[in-house]
Amino acid sequence: MSESKTVVIGVCGGIAVYKALDVISRLKKQNVNVHVIMTKSATEFVTPLSFQSLSQNMVVTDMFAEPKAWEIQHISLAKKADVMAIIPATANIIGKVANGIADDMLSTTIMATHAKVIFAPAMNTNMYNNPIVQSNISKLKEFGYDFICPASGRLACGDVGDGKLQETDIIAEQILSALNSNKDLQGKKVLVTAGPTISKIDPVRYITNGSSGKTGYAIAKEARDRGAKVTLISGPTNLKKPVGIEVINIETNEEMHESVMKHFDDSDIVVKSAAVADYKIKCYSNEKIKKNDGALNLEFIRDNDILKELGSLKKNQILVGFAAESHNLIENAKGKLDKKNLDYIVANNITESGAGFRCDTNKVSIIKRDKTVIPLEVMTKKKVAEKLFDIINEDIK
Ligand SMILES: Cc1cc2nc3c(=O)[nH]c(=O)nc-3n(C[C@H](O)[C@H](O)[C@H](O)COP(=O)(O)O)c2cc1C
């Protein structure tokens, strides 16, 4: 995050309280300024010192404590917050806010802020499913408060069911997404493809490529954060399903083809960053191929060129392709741009250091339809996604 934003974390007295520390650590790594308010109950579980050390700010626990500077704390934090997140949110705080009770620093700050407030509830399953709690949650949602749905699983009390605090990386991702105030893709439908596809040889063997899907996932998340409705069609990856994005999992070129064609007409921007196999096995063996002493020869035939097909079907969609090349990068990418009727092509030389499939950074050039080449430095895949949409939005204007 380039310019530093402020998140106020409200910590309540639940058994999952220690997990809020991990969320704070994740936010700090993204250069977010964090302030913490702990309820009195929360301090029974963990001392403010841990939160103070991680957030690098004084932790507020008492509404009537002598202020360090002449500012009214609950108002000053309420104003400072770009986003407030309540982690873990107890049944108690949910009930208090839903009913207008402001009797401590946290409930008062929530009441006083204009920032987006996100609750991450965690409690015993019976508590969570209690109609009073559910009714309070519905009421708060109607008032515009956001909730991060708890996970299901074995709870601290031994019960199994809903009410487990959602995973900390998902909570952090949702907070970071809410911090993005640039909503220049609001109302747009963005279709992104990511990861590799596989070409099956027999029931247990297949060939694939080294795509990690990181670029496509970063693009999908950036579009979501800018307000777009995003569909991500993903080949097999080790990446977590991003929140707030419709993810369709596929394996083969054929499945990718079918899914992309289904969504193409309804999309405004289509970013094809998946490394889709160009070839497939000519004769798939229904039975596992037996090992023998000689060589095994496999014949491959061309598979669907999905990008080219989209280029020929394109109406008003903005179509972005990728070119991963090991030589004559710009020349080959410009050729592909023309041949496939693209609006932009993101060209990367997979042999350069800091670029390529598995790493978190990339070094790309973005080439426009008029052949303008915009070379970018080595940067994170998230930054590449930001630059891509900056360029597209500038051109749309
Ligand atoms: C060991 C222990 C664990 C608790 N865990 C939770 C919990 O996970 N969720 C919850 O809503 N309440 C939990 N409670 C109850 C809250 O601490 C209690 O409702 C308290 O008033 C919450 O205050 P606060 O919302 O101001 O933090 C727990 C209580 C104890 C003693």
Instruction: Report the nearest-CA residue for atom 7 of ligand 1.
Output: 14
User: Does 276 share its domain with 214?
Assistant: yes
Higher pLDDT, 74 or 103: 103
Is any atom of ligand 1 closer than 6 Å to the C-beta of 15? yes
Which residues touch 158 (CB under 8 Å, ≥6 apart)?
none
CATH of the domain at 295: 3.40.50.10300
User: Does 11 share its domain with 150?
Assistant: yes
Q: Which of these three, 179, 212, 241, is where a domain ends?
A: 179
Mean pLDDT on 52-64: 91
User: Which pLDDT score is estimated for 2?
Assistant: 47
Is any atom of ligand 1 closer than 6 Å to the C-beta of 46? no
User: Does 141 share its domain with 21?
Assistant: yes
Mutate to test the pocket of ligand 1, among 92, 133, 162 (most ligand atoms within 8 A of CB): 92
CB under 8 A, 24+ apart: contacts of 163-167: 163/121, 163/122, 163/123, 163/124, 163/125, 163/127, 163/128, 163/129, 164/16, 164/122, 165/14, 165/16, 165/19, 165/87, 165/88, 165/120, 165/121, 165/122, 166/120
Return the structure tokens found at 337.
């741009």
User: Does 386 share its domain with 287?
Assistant: yes
Q: Which of these three, 141, 156, 179, is where a domain ends?
A: 179
User: Which ligand 1 atom is the nearest neighbour of the CA of 127?
Assistant: 11
Q: How many domains does the chain have?
A: 2
User: Does 98 share its domain with 222?
Assistant: no
User: Does 208 share its domain with 353?
Assistant: yes
Is any atom of ligand 1 closer than 6 Å to the C-beta of 392? no
Q: How far apart are CA 105 and CA 72, in angstroms?
A: 11
Residue range 66-82, pLDDT digits in tens: 666 556 666 889 999 99
Residue range 180-192, pLDDT digits in tens: 878 899 999 999 9
Residue range 306-331, pLDDT digits in tens: 999 999 999 999 999 999 888 899 99
CATH of the domain at 146: 3.40.50.1950
Find the range with the poorest average confidence among 61-75, 93-107, 289-303, 347-361: 61-75
Bond into 203 cis (ω within 30): no
Confidence grade of residue 154 (pLDDT, cut at 50, 70, 90): confident
184 in a structural domain: no
The share of the chain scoring above pLDDT 90, in percent, equals: 83
User: Does 43 share its domain with 152?
Assistant: yes
Q: How far apart are CA 208 and CA 217, in angstroms?
A: 19
Q: Inform me whether the pLDDT recorded for 227 exceeds 50.
A: yes
Mutate to test the pocket of ligand 1, among 17, 39, 41, 147 (most ligand atoms within 8 A of CB): 41
DSSP state of 196: B
Tell me whether residue 390 is exposed, middle or buried, using C-beta atoms within 10 angstroms of its C-beta: 0 to 12, 13 to 18, 19 or more.
middle
Confidence grade of residue 112 (pLDDT, cut at 50, 70, 90): very high
Domain span including residue 246? 189-396
Q: Which of these three, 179, 202, 233, is where a domain ends?
A: 179
Instruction: Report the nearest-CA residue for atom 17 of ligand 1.
Output: 13
315 in a structural domain: yes
User: Does 381 share its domain with 314?
Assistant: yes
Find the range with the poorest average confidence among 32-36, 94-98, 323-327: 323-327
User: Does 224 share its domain with 319?
Assistant: yes
144 in a structural domain: yes
User: Does 64 share its domain with 110?
Assistant: yes
90 in a structural domain: yes
User: Which ligand 1 atom is the nearest neighbour of the CA of 156?
Assistant: 8
User: Does 167 share its domain with 229?
Assistant: no
Q: How many A from CA of 28 to the centre of ligand 1?
A: 26
Confidence grade of residue 360 (pLDDT, cut at 50, 70, 90): confident
User: Does 150 share its domain with 194?
Assistant: no
